């Protein structure tokens, strides 16, 4: 409880969305959404399909530019920034659909995930300088370490596209951790997983948070959301309809009506 209260203090705000609005050809996908994600928490976003959750992620990571509204990271406006510049600030992301480097091995995938740590230019590579070699060795070590962290150490030489689905999702998480982000967006990390795999990914997400990272997670699996999030926002038809801790959300009438429908039968009588 102490953690949550501490996290909620204004000055600890990490990512702030203010009045974010976006249209897709006349359809309002998000309408004035405010969110405030605090340092160190696991923040859940739920809502029915098509309610705008992934759009929200795309805006926060720079893949979409909002029509109006502000996105600020640690108090600094990043509205309209390109994705690779936002990534350089320390914001990572796991995509909803598989988005690995399919024709590279697990190790090569993870080596590329540390791209931002590379500093030697082409001349260093051309003359194969000591600095170039030591930097590459470090990247490789970090890649092996990451593979161990997500339990893929025996798969380092397997091509990413040949991994089973559950391991591909784990690799995705490992790649997202490669740049060492402070804030990590997870877009439906356990979709299509069996209960055992789900439980192990939940464990993984908790250990990532314990490493001092802030996590924002979109997920349909309520067990996951209720089990790991400290706060949850509910989005429906592009607007935020509720926000609070899991307990509050589970008993919120609006949320229940969005998911289960209102009791129209009563009204008819």
Q: How far is the CB of 54 from other proteins (least distance, A)?
A: 12
Q: How far is the CB of 265 from other proteins (least distance, A)?
A: 46
Look-up of token digits 């209102």: 262
* Closer residue to other proteins, CB minimum distance, 17 or 87: 87
* Closer residue to other proteins, CB minimum distance, 124 or 246: 124
**CB of 234 within 8 A of CB of 226?**
no
Q: How far is the CB of 86 from other proteins (least distance, A)?
A: 8
* Closer residue to other proteins, CB minimum distance, 125 or 245: 125
* Closer residue to other proteins, CB minimum distance, 160 or 190: 160
* Closer residue to other proteins, CB minimum distance, 73 or 101: 101
Site of interaction with other proteins (CB under 8 A): 61-63, 82-85, 87-88, 92-93, 95, 99-104, 111-113, 115-116, 118, 120-122, 124-126, 128, 175-176, 178-179
């Amino acid at each position: 409880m102490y953690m949550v209260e501490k996290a909620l203090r204004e000055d600890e705000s990490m990512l702030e969305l203010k009045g974010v609005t976006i249209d897709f050809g006349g359809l309002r996908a998000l309408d004035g959404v405010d969110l405030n994600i605090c340092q160190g928490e696991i923040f859940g976003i739920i809502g029915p399909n098509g309610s705008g959750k992934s759009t929200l992620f795309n805006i926060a990571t720079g893949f979409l530019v909002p029509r109006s509204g502000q996105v600020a990271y640690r108090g600094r406006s990043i509205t309209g920034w390109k994705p690779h510049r936002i990534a350089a600030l320390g914001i990572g992301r796991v995509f909803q659909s598989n988005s690995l480097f399919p024709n590279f091995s697990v190790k090569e995938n993870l080596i590329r995930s540390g791209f931002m740590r590379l500093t030697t230019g082409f001349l260093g590579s051309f003359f194969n300088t000591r600095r170039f070699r030591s930097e590459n060795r470090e990247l490789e070590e970090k890649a092996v370490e990451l593979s161990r962290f997500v339990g893929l150490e025996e798969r380092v030489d397997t091509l990413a596209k040949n991994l089973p689905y559950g391991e591909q999702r784990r690799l995705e998480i490992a790649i997202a951790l490669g740049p060492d982000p402070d804030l990590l967006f997870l877009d439906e990390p356990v979709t299509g997983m069996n209960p055992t795999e789900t439980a192990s990914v939940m464990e993984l997400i908790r250990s990532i948070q314990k490493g001092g990272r802030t996590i924002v997670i979109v997920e349909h699996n309520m067990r996951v959301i209720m089990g790991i999030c400290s706060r949850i926002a509910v989005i429906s038809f592009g607007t935020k309809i509720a926000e609070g801790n899991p307990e509050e959300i589970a008993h919120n009438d609006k949320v229940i009506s969005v998911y289960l429908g209102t009791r129209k039968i009563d009204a008819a009588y």
